[in-house]
Amino acid sequence: MTTQTPGSVSTFRRLMSYAKPYRGGFIMAILGMIGYALIDVYFINEFETFIDRGITQKDQQYFFWAPIVVVLLFAIRGVFNFISSYSLSWAGTHIVKDLRQQLFRHMMRLPVSYHDQHSTGELISKITYDAEQIKQASSKALVVLIHEGAFVLGLLVVMFSKSWQLSAIFLLIAPIIALIVSVVSKRFRHISNRMQGTMGNVTSNAEQMLIGHKVILSFGGQAIEDKRFGEINNRNRHLDVKLESTKAISVSLIQTIASGSLAFVIYLASFPEMLETLTPGKFTTILTSMLLLLKPLKQLTTVNSDFQKGMAAAAAVFKVLDEKPEQDTGTLELNNVRGDIEVKGLTFQYPGHDKLVLKNVNFTVKAGQTIALVGKSGSGKTTISSLLPRFYEIEQGQILLDGHDTKDCTLASLRQQIAVVSQHVVLFNDTIANNISYGFTGELTRERLIDVAEKAHVMEFAASMEQGLDTEIGENGVTLSGGQRQRIAIARALLRQSPVLILDEATSALDTESERKIQGAFDELLKNRTNIVIAHRLSTIEKADVILVMAEGQIVERGSHQELLAQHGVYANLYKLQFGEGA
């Protein structure tokens, strides 16, 4: 009873390709649903015998066997129901699991630029809400289509076998019903597509509120957020009402047409010629069948809404899956990297933006050197740290690592050589130990883990916890202070021992004493490694071999701390702003 556009046909076929590994479950479910429906049809068909033979002729033997047959048939009906429900649930949940897993895996492989352009809530909605809508299409819709479809066909066979003259009216109303379904299908599809977007907005706005809860409380933004969410929530409600009203109108139309057919059959049955051919049992069977047709016709119409929702959700999911993953075009496997870095003519703008973030940047870092990038916010410092591990593709210019263009290197081997400690620490809802060792592929002993934790000053707070390094820290380390979270991130980078280390405001959340201790650990532990330090606090980079001062995406000054102070330029002005005129 569903009508599909060419686009939805291709979406449906693609969705069905996920069902192939589980076709056994679907076959069992279909057989169970057909068996269940046919037993119901058999009961309706036996009304004639029950009335004419049992009640009219008072056949005692018939009444003796009838209860036994009823119990047996209902037991078999229950078995069919269990087989269909279990098999469909098994197959349907497997399909959704596979889709969710593929979607999750694919999202991890999408380029950073894609995630920049799509909110987290929108993408989460694909995995949660959209996948659930697909489950409705693959399970609930299929149940109604198969079970109710078989039931309708069975009832029509019973009706035509009893009196084809009275039943022929349904041959006339079938095209009208098909036309109504075709029209409302297009509307269901249109509204369902719009609902996918509004649900993404609902999820995104809710996520934004939960993440920024403290900021909202601090600045009294409850009313603002409440109003913003209310508008989004109301748009979703409005679309839901449209969907339900369309469904109600289509159901009412079809049932009105069907009831008119029923009235016409009763009228025809009143003619003497028809009365002579009808027994009480036969007429009751036909009438009951026609009455029972109203419910499955309604369900077959309303299921179209669920089906179109599922197709719209599947189309949204497939749109994400069709996005090109991060392109790993490199073939060179990097091993035993020294850490020589050369940036040549680097010019860059973020995908989808016109403004140049970097303009012809050139610098060299020798293996074992510490180079610092300083400058105002938006000067391009963090962009350079994102381009080194190729989070974004370089269109103009080159970055060379040990003389190799990073474009020629495989992403996995390139990123294995670079450890990044960002100002935005990301921790997982796991233990301190597992967060430190996250992504570590080598052999890790408890002694080495503790050694790294001590050098990053993690043990200073972990030792006071009941579970020590095995303490669960909650989502993104919610139970820890900013400084404690930063130390775990630093320990993670130290454990990795990559030849290149990028510190993007890595000590920004630490107090002065902790910063001094960790800086001392870096001075000792990171010898013979290339360190790129991005800092606003100039006190953290005074010992750097070379300091690059950036402004408007360009390097405007370079030299050591003392050399730059002597130039009385941009760096000297920044230093004076932080430490006073007498610096």
Residue 561: is its pLDDT beyond 60? Answer: yes
For the segment 233-243, the average pLDDT, to the nearest whole number, is 81
DSSP labels, 499-532: SEEEEESTTTTS-HHHHHHHHHHHHHHTTTSEEE
> Domain for residue 364, yes or no?
no
The predicted model scores a pTM of 0.72
Residue 14's CATH number: 1.20.1560.10
Length of the chain (residues): 583
What residues does 502 pair with on adjacent strands? 420, 532
- Confidence band of 321 (pLDDT split at 50, 70, 90): very high
- In this structure, of 24-38, 343-357, 480-494, the range with the lowest mean pLDDT score is 480-494
Could you tell me the residue range of the domain that residue 136 belongs to?
A: 7-321
Would you put residue 489 in left (φ > 0), alpha (ψ -120 to 50) or beta?
alpha
> Domain for residue 338, yes or no?
no
Are 130 and 197 spatial neighbours (Cβ–Cβ below 8 Å)? no
Please write the tens of the pLDDT for every residue from 221-232: 788 888 888 888
- Confidence band of 6 (pLDDT split at 50, 70, 90): very low
Please write the tens of the pLDDT for every residue from 426-469: 888 889 999 898 888 878 889 888 988 888 888 888 888 888 89
> Domain for residue 36, yes or no?
yes
> Domain for residue 312, yes or no?
yes
Q: Provide the pLDDT for residue 489.
A: 85
List % helix, strand, coil for the chain (3-state, nearest 5): 65, 10, 25
Q: Provide the pLDDT for residue 2.
A: 42
3-state secondary structure of 359: strand
Average pLDDT, whole number, for the chain?
A: 80
Number of separate domains in the chain? 1
> Domain for residue 213, yes or no?
yes
Q: Which one of 181-185, 271-275, 372-376 scores highest in mean pLDDT?
A: 372-376
> Domain for residue 428, yes or no?
no
Q: Which two tokens stand for residue 514?
A: 């902790």
What share of the chain in percent tops pLDDT 90? 13
Residue 564: is its pLDDT beyond 80? Answer: yes
- Confidence band of 538 (pLDDT split at 50, 70, 90): confident
- Confidence band of 102 (pLDDT split at 50, 70, 90): very high
- 314: buried, middle or exposed (CB in 10 Å: 19+, 13-18, 0-12)? buried
Residue 519: is its pLDDT beyond 80? Answer: no
Residue 173: is its pLDDT beyond 60? Answer: yes
> Domain for residue 489, yes or no?
no
Q: Provide the pLDDT for residue 360.
A: 92
